[in-house]
Amino acid sequence: MGAGARWCPLSVPSRKAVPVTEPHGHSHPSQRFARWRHKLGHVVKPHSHEAADKVDPALESSARGMRALWISLAVLGLTAAAQAVVVLLTGSVALLGDTVHNAADALTAIPLGIAFVLGRRAATRRFTYGYGRAEELAGIVILLTIAASAAFAAWAAVDRLLNPRTLDHLWVVAAAAVLGFIGNEWVARYRIRVGREIGSAALVADGLHARTDGFTSLAVLLSAGGAALGWRLADPIVGLLITAAILLVLRDAAREVFRRVMDAVDPTLVDTAEETLLTVPGVRGVGELRLRWIGHRLRAEVAVVVDGELPVREAHEVAVAAEHALLHAIPNLTAALVHADPTPTPETPDPHKALAHHGM
């Protein structure tokens, strides 16, 4: 019995059971076509079931995530350092809030980097699924960092409202705002693209965070413009607006991280998996199907319905073919456990109904 596929003669399908319409041993033309299409797909896109071949893409995705983190850390670090110099020169609290937020955004690379490194470790007898969940923990740390930067920006803005002062070197403040926008937008595009390609929700959330930071940097221009018109409260008011923008980022990032922690997946992935399984020769229906993210890697558990008259070895081959098809069809899927259920017969009672009848 190969890894990832099991045969159980007692289980019954939970849904999408397809009735048997032809006797065992005869294949329908549509089934023959599906079998040849499956073989052709294997030739065009070869795939191995060896454990090492499955781990290598996962390691490569972690390496890409690390590279994205360090490059974005360098860009945001330089941006925040340049803005800090301008803050010391001008005393703008709007720019201070933007600088602190950019620095915090750069530092989120640290927990994410640790998560990617942990995710490379092999599974153990205690952590049988490996350490991919470290990315979800990193996402929570990122949420706390965003919340802390929002609190600091709000405190600085309120303090300036109570103690207003005139801004100096307005053109320098404006230049720093534009610099902040350019740096954040570049990092946002890079993080979101890599995060979506490797399936890292934490990296995508961090990219969205950086994108909003770019627009808050542009808001600093309003502060400089208001100060140029003689409105002394423009700077702290813009600082409060930046705080509100940070809170919106926090809300969106929290929703993304919460969904990942709760094992949410895109429903279209479930649809794709079901449609793929139904094209596998020998699969009569799809029962319970579950997908979950572990870090930036997907795992699947599914029950497929096969002919109840099939020998154990042939049923196992159908399950292996189903696993193979899923690994081809679902991006970022690195493992699939396929359970083969026989079609129910009058002589084979439903064990679930039997348990209910006995009150178990």
Q: Identify the bridge partners of residue 289 per DSSP, sorted by sequence position.
A: 302
Strands 285-294 and 297-306: antiparallel
pLDDT beyond 90 at 319? yes
H-helix or E-strand containing 338?
Answer: strand 333-342
Q: 25 or 147: which carries more pLDDT confidence?
A: 147
pLDDT beyond 90 at 352? no
Most confident listed range (24-28, 212-216, 295-299): 295-299
- Cα 293–chain centre separation: 7
| pTM of the full structure | 0.63
Residues 325, 277: Cα–Cα separation, whole Å: 7
What CATH number does domain 59-261 carry, 1.20.1510.10, 2.60.120.10, 2.60.40.10, 1.10.10.10? 1.20.1510.10
Q: What is the DSSP letter of 124?
A: -
User: What's the pLDDT tens digit per position in 240-282?
Assistant: 887 887 788 788 888 888 888 888 999 999 999 999 999 999 9
| 233 — pLDDT class (breaks 50, 70, 90) | confident
**Residue 182 and residue 162 in contact, taking contact as beta carbons nearer than 8 Å:** no
**pLDDT at res. 157:** 78
| 285 — pLDDT class (breaks 50, 70, 90) | very high
**pLDDT at res. 283:** 94
Q: How confident is the prediction for the chain on average, in pLDDT?
A: 75
**Residue 284 and residue 248 in contact, taking contact as beta carbons nearer than 8 Å:** no
**pLDDT at res. 6:** 47
Give the residue-averaged pLDDT of 110-114. 82
H-helix or E-strand containing 288?
Answer: strand 285-294
CATH 3.30.70.1350 in the chain is located at: 5-47+265-357
Q: What is the largest CA-CA distance in the chain?
A: 89
**Amino acid letter, residue 146:** I
CATH superfamily, domain 5-47+265-357, is Cation efflux protein, cytoplasmic domain (3.30.70.1350)
CATH 1.20.1510.10 in the chain is located at: 59-261
